[in-house]
Amino acid sequence: MPARVRMLFATITIVLFLIPALALYGDLSKRADIWWTPRPLMVPLTKATDRVEVYVRGQPLEALLGAGQLRVIDETSGSVLATSDIALRFNNWDRVRAQRIPTLLGYAAVCGATFVLFLLLVTGRFAYRREKEAVAV
């Protein structure tokens, strides 16, 4: 293969390698603490029962709140907690991480394939063979 063609293909291969490599790096370098439910979108206790159960001294929190057994005591007064006073934030990192695995594996496979293609180009394994003319008999 002529040197100019080999350099062109090597450059294209490097660019094609960098696209998934940068996406892979960007995905892996994200902060892991950003997957918490935002404060304005906290889930009320009554809507979170399918994902979490909170117990206080062995009794469900909702039962204690319904019976009026939990109080918040300030410096001057105390008040009974209601179910609407409690909201929850969830850490969704485990779900996000599980959803990202196929994408990350795809990026890694593309990076590996383009790297192998680059090595084949640089080492000259793609030999350029001219077509041979048919021999007349």
Instruction: List 44's β-bridge partners, or say none.
Output: 87
pTM of the model: 0.53
Question: Higher model confidence: residue 74 or residue 113?
Answer: 113
Using the predicted structure, report yes or no on whether residue 3 has a pLDDT greater than 80.
no
Beta-strand relationship, 59-60 and 71-73: unpaired
Q: Each residue of 82-127: pLDDT tens digit? A: 888 888 888 877 788 888 889 999 999 999 999 998 888 888 776 6
Helix pair 3-28, 93-122: axis angle to 10 deg: 170
Compute CA 23 distance to the chain's CA centroid, rounded to the nearest angstrom: 11
Q: What is the structure's pLDDT at 134?
A: 59
Domain positions in the chain are 1-32+93-127, 37-90
